[in-house]
């Protein structure tokens, strides 16, 4: 039945494979505990090695949890529609086991949460790394909302669901809570999302829509800027929620107090403050006042272009005179899958290049 539903949805993932139970046992060495990558509420993720020696991640849902099975089906249906370099790729599934298994590409660098808040990663992400991650995640969400064959709302954007590979390239993961609504403007749903990232409008309207993802992304952007968790009960009462803490600091012109000391310097203050403005816009209480993700991605792309150009001018000051009379938008040698409309300052997303 699942295969029929995937076929009926018009899967764009032509490499999707159905694995046997024996394939999964061999890949995980009998689900050996040494192969466990992580355990969360949705189940256990194992490191798997296929016969061709390729490494994969295998997610095993909890036994006897019908809701998790539904999320499994939902994730297969959603990810079968997506082929984007900043979305974790679903390689296949196994339907022979007592609980269903999902097989993903293996992302070796851990989650963004691990890099920002964990103890496993000693080296700090630079501001350039953080801005690039924000751009990649924003572009992926914009693609889900506007570029996928069927509009997709993720509904659980958070730093734990953003994986980083060995090159710190971001991959949006965990689509179990996602929706492919018939009416893309809004939908009624059961409680989804994570405290600290959940759209505040949900508490009064019981509705989630594309602007809910915008809110969650705004929280992620605040984490990238501040290095602080979205929700922390160790902070004072007025600052437990990062959004309220961040917005108040911005209003009172003391944003410098919460910017991560490991990234702030004289050269990037302006860029970080611009990114902070975008984060605040994304987390406005009313969804209708938030920008669309494609607009957010465009603003961050423009910010990177300005930063790259500024750095290039500092490196090659003798070229300033030539640049003053030109229409150059980004520095020579800088390439991107997204171009710019210099008059409208809006990114033009090349969907094919993003896949």
Mean predicted confidence (pLDDT) in 314-326? 52
Q: At 308, is the pLDDT very low, low, confident or very high (cuts 50, 70, 90)?
A: low
Digit-coded pLDDT (tens) for 141-193: 999 998 877 888 998 999 999 999 999 999 999 887 777 654 444 455 555 67
Task: Identify the CA nearest to 91 among candidates 78, 77, 105.
Answer: 105
> How high is the pLDDT of residue 1?
52
* DSSP run (H or E) holding 60: strand 55-61
Q: What is the pLDDT of residue 259?
A: 95
Q: In a 10 Å sphere around its CB, with 0-12 CB exposed, 13-18 middle and 19+ buried, how is residue 114 labelled?
A: middle
In DSSP notation, 12-28 reads S-TT-EEEPHHHHHHHT
Q: Where are the alpha helices (DSSP H) in the chain?
A: 2-8, 21-27, 66-79, 112-117, 127-142, 202-205, 210-226, 242-251, 269-282, 293-315, 320-324, 351-354
CA pair distance 179, 165, nearest whole angstrom: 26
Is the pTM of the predicted complex or chain greater than 0.75? yes
If phi over 0 gives left and psi between -120 and 50 gives alpha, with beta otherwise, what is residue 146? Answer: alpha
DSSP 311-338: HHHHH-GGGHHHHHTS---S-TT---SE
- 236: DSSP letter: -
* Average pLDDT of the segment spanning 44-52: 95
pLDDT-derived band at 200, boundaries 50, 70, 90: very high
CA distance 100 to 40: 16
Q: Report the distance separating Cα 282 and Cα 211, nearest Å.
A: 8
Do 224 and 306 contact (CB within 8 A), yes or no?
Answer: no
DSSP 8-class letter at 206: -
> What mean pLDDT is reported for the chain?
81
Give me the mean pLDDT over the 293-304 stretch: 95
Contact 287, 199 (CB under 8 A): yes
pLDDT band at 256 (very low <50, low <70, confident <90, very high): very high
- Residue 32 annotated in active site: no
Instruction: Write the DSSP assignment of 242-280 as a string of letters.
Output: HHHHHHHHHHTT-GGGTS-TTT--TTTHHHHHHHHHHHH
23, 65, 156, 260: the catalytic one is: 156
Q: Sketch out the chain's domains with CATH numbers.
A: 2-105 (3.30.200.20), 112-354 (1.10.510.10)
- Helices then strands, counting H and E runs in the chain, come out as 12, 12
Phi-psi region of 179 (alpha: psi -120 to 50; beta: other; left: phi over 0): beta
The answer to whether 259 and 225 have CB atoms below 8 angstroms apart is yes
121 closest CA partner among 137, 108, 134, 136: 108
Query: Do 87 and 80 contact (CB within 8 A), yes or no?
Result: no
């Amino acid at each position: 039945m699942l295969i029929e539903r995937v076929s009926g949805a018009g899967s764009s993932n032509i490499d999707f494979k159905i694995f046997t139970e024996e394939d999964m046992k061999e890949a995980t060495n009998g689900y050996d505990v040494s192969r466990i990558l992580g355990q969360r509420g949705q189940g256990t993720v194992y490191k798997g090695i296929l016969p061709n020696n390729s490494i994969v991640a295998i997610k095993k849902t909890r036994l006897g949890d019908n809701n998790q099975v539904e999320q499994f089906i939902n994730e297969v249906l959603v990810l079968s529609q997506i082929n984007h370099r900043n979305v974790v790729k679903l390689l296949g599934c196994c339907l022979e086991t007592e609980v269903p298994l999902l097989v993903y590409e293996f992302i070796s660098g851990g989650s963004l949460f691990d890099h920002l808040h964990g103890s496993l990663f000693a080296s700090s992400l630079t501001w350039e790394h953080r801005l690039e991650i924000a751009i990649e995640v924003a572009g992926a969400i914009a693609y889900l909302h506007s570029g996928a064959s069927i509009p997709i709302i993720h509904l659980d954007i958070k730093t734990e669901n953003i994986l980083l590979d060995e090159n710190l390239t971001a991959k949006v993961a965990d689509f179990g809570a996602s929706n492919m609504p018939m009416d893309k403007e809004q939908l009624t749903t059961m409680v989804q999302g994570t405290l600290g990232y959940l759209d505040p409008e949900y508490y009064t309207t019981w509705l989630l829509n594309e602007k809910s993802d915008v809110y969650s992304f705004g929280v992620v952007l605040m984490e990238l800027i501040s290095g602080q968790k979205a929700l922390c009960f160790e902070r004072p009462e007025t600052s437990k929620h990062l959004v309220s803490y961040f917005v108040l600091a911005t209003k009172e012109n003391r944003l410098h107090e919460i910017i991560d000391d490991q990234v702030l310097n004289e050269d990037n203050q302006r860029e970080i403050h611009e990114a902070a403005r975008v984060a605040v816009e994304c987390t406005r209480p009313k969804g209708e006042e938030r920008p669309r993700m494609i607009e957010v991605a465009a603003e961050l792309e423009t910010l990177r272009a300005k930063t790259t150009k500024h750095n290039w001018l500092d490196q090659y000051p003798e070229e300033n005179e030539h640049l003053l009379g030109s229409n150059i938008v980004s520095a020579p040698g800088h390439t991107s899958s997204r171009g710019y409309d210099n008059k409208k300052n809006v990114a033009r997303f090349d969907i094919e290049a993003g896949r």
